[in-house]
Amino acid sequence: MAPPVTKNTSNGMITSGLVKAKTLPRRAYVTFLAGDGDYWKGVFVEYSKMIYLDGDIQVFDNIDHLFDLPDGHFYAVMDCFCEPNWRNSPQYKIGYCQQSPNKVEWPEQELGPKPPLYFNAGMFVFEPSISTYYDLLESVKTTPPTLFAEQDFLNMFFKDIYKPIPTEYNLILAMLWRHPENVDLEKVKVVHYCADGSKPWRYTGKDKNMDRDDIKMLVKKWWDIFNDESLDYWRICGHSIGTPLTAVEKPTPVVTKSGRRYITAPSAA
């Protein structure tokens, strides 16, 4: 919860108690679903290190050890450039992918220096601070729109301190058919259901590559977690879960556990 915003009655100025509280945890997993500026600012003050997770990610094994990675870096898994959503990029057009950089050499004489390593922003480890908060806000004002929105922006902003971590911490499903030699499913701890048709709550198995046995297994694992009542926050707290979420034959509007419905936007990750 963000520090409260209060009004100083003596001078009419708005102030905020942005001070790290000694009793607050210094590390956290977090998925930003919504929040105004004060909420975000509070998050950047309360924690010394955070692991960000997209809403379409599932963690299947403990990853607390990532908090012990050396400070001063931004950690994330390298992205794959082989899917059609990259079709407008020079990487896709020449068949180059950083996941297998030796298969196609980057043509420096034609396209200039090889681009810096590019991460998938569905999961990352970073060190929040109030200075980073303000730098992000200022930088985004002068950054032109790009194909992958906030993912491109974060890659530009953190490129100088980015350090790759293994695929097992953010398995982009396309890796299963694009670079299977780089995937060991036995070691995978975090799965990112970002491929077209892979969202478990809308999964039908009819989209391209979605009839694979490994995809079916990972979708089943997501449902096993969802249906495990011992992990259900809403049941533990005694709240109503509203309309229950069940597997469907064809996609329907998304229903949250609180019963709210919302329209999904195209995935950027």
> pLDDT band at residue 141, thresholds of 50, 70 and 90?
confident
* Residue 252 within any structural domain of the chain: yes
With respect to residue 6, please indicate whether it lies within any of the assigned structural domains.
Answer: no
Instruction: Specify the CATH number for the domain of residue 82.
Output: 3.90.550
State yes or no: pLDDT of 16 exceeds 70.
no
- With cut-offs at 50, 70 and 90, classify the pLDDT of residue 187: very high
For the beta sheet containing 49-53, the strands, ordered from the edge strand earlier in sequence to the opposite edge, are 27-30, 49-53, 119-126, 74-78, 162-164
d(CA 115, CA 129): 28
142-185: per-residue pLDDT in tens?
777 767 788 888 998 999 999 999 999 999 999 999 999 999 99
* Residues 6 or more apart whose Cβ sits within 8 Å of residue 107: 94
The answer to whether the CB of 167 falls within 8 A of the CB of 183 is: yes
Can you tell me which residue has the tokens 């694992």? 221
Residue 268 domain-assigned (yes or no):
no
Confirm whether 94 is domain-assigned. yes
Q: What is the pTM of this model?
A: 0.74
Percent of the chain at pLDDT above 70? Answer: 69
Count of structural domains within the chain = 1
State the average pLDDT over residues 43-65: 88
Between 109 and 253, the higher pLDDT residue: 109
Residue 208 and residue 206: Cα distance in Å, rounded? 7
Q: Which residues constitute the domain of residue 207?
A: 18-262
Q: Which residues, other chains included, contact 228 with Cβ-Cβ below 8 Å and sequence gap of 6+?
A: none
What pLDDT was estimated at residue 129? 82
The 10s digit of each residue's pLDDT in 70-92 is: 999 999 999 999 999 899 889 99
